């Protein structure tokens, strides 16, 4: 499974890419593989304020609907409109075209609950499952 | 909780890279290449499913036919030797214990293929209603089954069996000696496509499975899992016991009265069904289709009409063929009309849908 070195990870299989005061959020390669064919993504509204670990999006495969938890609190600035017509981008390019939303992080927001790539690799290797 | 059982093809599934899940007490492949890909493969080419988890109950003896006619809703007298029939096992209230196919495979000998989750319940029900002159045997553990489904299954049948064996007719079952392996072959299926099913002693499972895959390679065959099996059957509006059928729903409510012979004398559950026919059913299982692209409808989502909750989804999914949400729901009989507009509540939002005719994908 692809776990890029330049990202941070949540135990619930979301990734986060810091870009100044904004972060981009998506789900990991491991998560998309576990979920299988993604057929619908329900995204938050731009402008919405979210708290850490809040369920902010729903990713639906043929078999099931799964909540996506925000790895961090802040204000949603942008959502990936392309997923409306092409939800499968989450499967084919989870760290690129398949991103979910961008969030502006307030000063002082805690990032320490997030894992580095090595810890996340360890988690998916030992669990052998994913409760996304 | 007891450990999940493995079908005789478990090692083959793992070897072919299947994603294994627990289903009705069995470790089964939910998918190989992906549910959507396998679904299209069956609609356009051919796929093979392991159905060894399904229960196989043998009923034999001079009293077998009359006894089955007392337990099952369809008329067993209408099938001759070598024929099969879809039917229901009902409780005293007319509710569905199980739906099954009865194969009249030999003189005074019947094979009942039942749902994996219900095998023990069905068998215990049958034992409790046992009668002299009828022998019952649960052979689920010693038999394997494959379903080969899709338009190209016609060519695959000839490639597999050779020119001397003709395809069984609709509702026919035949015993074929295939290089020393006794295979029961029928033209049944659960996908709406042409196809055949094979039942045989478990010891031959891997050999038959691999021979089907090898012969079918030139036709683009793929092994398929339970995920595609579910979306394929739902597009056809074939019921799934536990979702669309239950002990508190009758076959009349499920819209399956053509598999119930109310004219034949006393079978278990007949009286409540006669009453229901006379008074009219209160609720009906109806197929529906979402109006727009959106989140897929799923089991237990609420159904609304004119702002009021009128029912609940029994089965729902994204139709891979239509790329739109489809399903079946129980609604009051007065709404059970084609083109009737309804709404589905998905996470607090209402999405428009309409009641459709069967099947949903054509």
CB atoms within 10 A of CB B151: 15
In the predicted model, what is the mean pLDDT of residues A25-36?
A: 95
Q: Which CATH architecture has domain B282-362?
A: Beta Barrel (2.40)
Which structure tokens are listed for B137?
Answer: 């045997």
Residues of B at the A interface, defined by Cβ within 8 angstroms: 19, 30-31, 34-37, 227, 231, 294-296, 298, 317-318, 320, 347
Instruction: Decide if A36 and B298 are in contact by the 8 Å CB cutoff.
Output: no
Which structure tokens are listed for A94?
Answer: 């989870």
CA dist., res. B125 & res. B218, Å (int): 45
Exposure string for B159-184, b = 16+ CB within 10 A, e = fewer: bbbeeebebbeebbbbebebeeeebb
Residues of A at the B interface, defined by Cβ within 8 angstroms: 36-37, 39-40, 42, 58, 60-65
Would you list the domain boundaries of chain B?
5-50+141-235, 282-362
Would you list the domain boundaries of chain A?
8-110
CA of B299: which chain A residue's CA is closest? A64
CA dist., res. B298 & res. A117, Å (int): 35
At residue B3, the pLDDT reads 81
Instruction: Decide if A40 and B35 are in contact by the 8 Å CB cutoff.
Output: no
- 10-residue mean pLDDT series, chain B (362 residues): 87 95 94 96 98 96 97 97 97 98 96 96 97 95 95 98 94 94 95 97 97 98 98 98 98 98 95 97 98 96 98 97 97 98 97 97 93
Which structure tokens are listed for A109?
Answer: 């927001």
Which structure tokens are listed for B228?
Answer: 């595609």
Instruction: Decide if B296 and A40 are in contact by the 8 Å CB cutoff.
Output: yes
At residue B1, the pLDDT reads 54
Instruction: Decide if A36 and B317 are in contact by the 8 Å CB cutoff.
Output: no
Is the pLDDT reported for residue A111 higher than 70?
Answer: no
HSE-CB at A4 with a 13 A cutoff on CA atoms is 15
Instruction: Decide if B35 and A37 are in contact by the 8 Å CB cutoff.
Output: yes
CA dist., res. B303 & res. B326, Å (int): 13
Q: Tell me, what's the ipTM?
A: 0.84
Place of tokens 């470790």: B27
CA dist., res. B158 & res. B120, Å (int): 36
CA of B232: which chain A residue's CA is closest? A62
Exposure string for B304-319, b = 16+ CB within 10 A, e = fewer: bbeeeebbebbbbbbb
pLDDT tier for residue A106 given thresholds of 50, 70 and 90:
confident
Interface mutation vs chain B, best among A44, A62, A64, most B CBs within 10 Å: A62
Interface mutation vs chain B, best among A32, A33, A37, most B CBs within 10 Å: A37
Instruction: Decide if A37 and B298 are in contact by the 8 Å CB cutoff.
Output: no
Is the pLDDT reported for residue A131 higher than 60?
Answer: no
CB atoms within 10 A of CB A2: 9
Is the pLDDT reported for residue A109 higher than 80?
Answer: no
Closest in B19, B227, B294 to A62, CB measured: B227
Question: Does residue B247 contact residue B50 with C-beta atoms inside 8 Å?
Answer: no
| Helical H segments across B45-179, by residue range | 64-71, 119-128, 153-161
The domain defined by A8-110 folds into OB fold (Dihydrolipoamide Acetyltransferase, E2P) (2.40.50)
Domain spanning B5-50+141-235: CATH superfamily: Probable tRNA modification gtpase trme; domain 1 (3.30.1360.120)
Which of these, B57, B62, B137, B38, lies nearest to B98 by C-alpha position?
Answer: B57
Is the pLDDT reported for residue A130 higher than 60?
Answer: no
* Residues of chain B contacting A65 with CB distance shorter than 8 Å: 295-296, 298
CA dist., res. B84 & res. B82, Å (int): 7
Question: Does residue B106 contact residue B46 with C-beta atoms inside 8 Å?
Answer: no
Is the pLDDT reported for residue A132 higher than 50?
Answer: no
* Residues of chain A contacting B313 with CB distance shorter than 8 Å: none
For residue B359, cis peptide bond before it (omega within 30 degrees of 0):
yes
């Amino acid at each position: 499974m692809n776990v890029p070195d330049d990202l941070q990870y949540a135990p619930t299989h979301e990734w986060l890419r810091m870009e100044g005061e904004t972060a981009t959020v998506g789900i990991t390669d491991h998560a998309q593989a576990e979920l299988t064919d993604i057929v619908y993504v329900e995204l938050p509204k731009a402008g919405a304020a979210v708290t850490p670990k809040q369920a902010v999006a729903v990713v639906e495969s043929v078999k099931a609907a799964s909540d996506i938890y925000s790895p961090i609190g802040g204000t949603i600035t942008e959502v990936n409109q392309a997923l409306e017509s092409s939800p499968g981008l989450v499967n084919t390019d989870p760290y690129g075209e398949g991103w979910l939303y961008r969030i502006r992080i307030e000063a002082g927001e805690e990032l320490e609950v997030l894992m580095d790539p090595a810890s996340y690799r360890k988690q998916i290797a030992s669990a052998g499952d994913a409760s996304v | 909780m007891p450990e999940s059982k493995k079908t005789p093809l478990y090692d083959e599934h793992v070897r072919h890279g299947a994603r294994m899940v627990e289903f009705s007490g069995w470790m089964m492949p939910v998918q190989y290449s992906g549910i959507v890909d396998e679904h299209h493969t069956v609609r356009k080419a051919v796929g093979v499913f392991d159905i060894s988890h399904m229960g196989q109950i043998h009923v034999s003896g001079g009293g077998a036919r009359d006894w089955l006619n007392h337990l099952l809703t369809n008329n067993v007298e209408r099938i001759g030797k070598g024929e099969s029939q879809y039917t229901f096992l009902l409780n005293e209230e007319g509710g569905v214990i199980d739906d099954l196919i009865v194969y009249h495979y030999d003189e005074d000998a019947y094979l009942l293929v039942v749902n994996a989750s219900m095998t023990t319940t069905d068998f215990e029900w049958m034992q409790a209603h046992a009668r002299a002159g009828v022998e019952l045997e649960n052979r689920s553990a010693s038999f394997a089954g494959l379903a080969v489904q899709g338009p190209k299954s016609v060519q695959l049948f000839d490639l597999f069996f050779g020119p001397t064996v003709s395809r069984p007719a609709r509702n026919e079952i035949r015993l074929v000696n295939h290089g020393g392996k006794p295979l029961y072959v029928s033209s049944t299926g659960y996908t709406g496509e042409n196809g055949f099913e094979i039942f045989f002693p478990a010891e031959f499972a891997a050999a038959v499975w691999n021979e089907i895959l090898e012969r079918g390679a030139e036709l683009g065959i793929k092994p398929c899992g339970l995920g595609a099996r579910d979306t394929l059957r739902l597009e056809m509006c074939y019921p799934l016991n536990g979702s669309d059928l239950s002990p508190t729903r009758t076959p009349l409510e499920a819209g399956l009265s053509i598999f119930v012979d109310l004219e034949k004398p006393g079978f278990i559950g007949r009286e409540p069904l006669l009453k229901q026919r006379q008074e009219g059913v209160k609720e009906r299982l109806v197929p529906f289709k979402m109006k727009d692209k959106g989140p897929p409808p799923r089991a237990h989502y609420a159904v609304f009409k004119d702002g009021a909750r009128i029912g609940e989804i029994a089965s729902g999914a994204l139709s891979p063929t239509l790329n739109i949400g489809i399903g079946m729901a129980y609604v009051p009989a007065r709404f059970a009309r084609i083109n009737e507009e309804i709404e589905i509540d998905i996470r607090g939002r209402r999405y428009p849908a309409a009641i459709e005719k069967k099947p949903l994908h054509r």
